[in-house]
Structure 1
Amino acid sequence: MLRLHLPDPPTDSEEEEEDVAEGAAAQSSRSSIPMDAEHVELVKRTMASVKLPTLGIPAWASQISEEQWKDVVQRTLQARQSLGGPRPEWK
């Protein structure tokens, strides 16, 4: 069993929450760009050609499968939730 540490999510202050609310409104307008099928395919082809440098990949990452990694992350998140710790907000 791998013992991997996921950092705790940052805590929000009231000031940050106000900034986040303003930023969320701006982000929402930017994230709703209408895209036709041609643009969707262009984005897919572009993203498919992106290669990350292998130097940035930790050694343990090549030793486990994607499914094993997802399982580790899911169990860690469930353990945090059951302990009543801070919950990450997925958007």
Structure 2
Amino acid sequence: MGGGKIFTAEKVVVTQPTAGTYQGFSAVCTHQGCTVSSVTGGEIVCNCHQSHFSATDGSVVSGPAKTALPSKTVTVSGDAIYLA
């Protein structure tokens, strides 16, 4: 719980803010277009300029980014994650 995985090739980050709940977001930082680098402590982190986003809804926790990560529709079935 509270973690996530970045799928660099697909430019998607999938988080699990609570057990059994999955959220998908663009992995492209809204500040200057870097790919986010980690999901830790309930936050999606971009190491380029230290923007932090909520793993629950993609909103900006701390900047310099001013815009939330766009959401992506993901579904989970067993061990597989699907991007819609």
Which range, TM-score by smaller chain?
Answer: under 0.3
Q: TM-score, normalised by structure 2?
A: 0.16
Larger helix proportion, structure 1 or 2? Answer: 1
**With structure 1 as the length reference, what TM-score do the two structures score?**
0.16
Higher strand share: 2
Structure with the bigger RCO (C-alpha within 8 Å, sep 6+) is 1
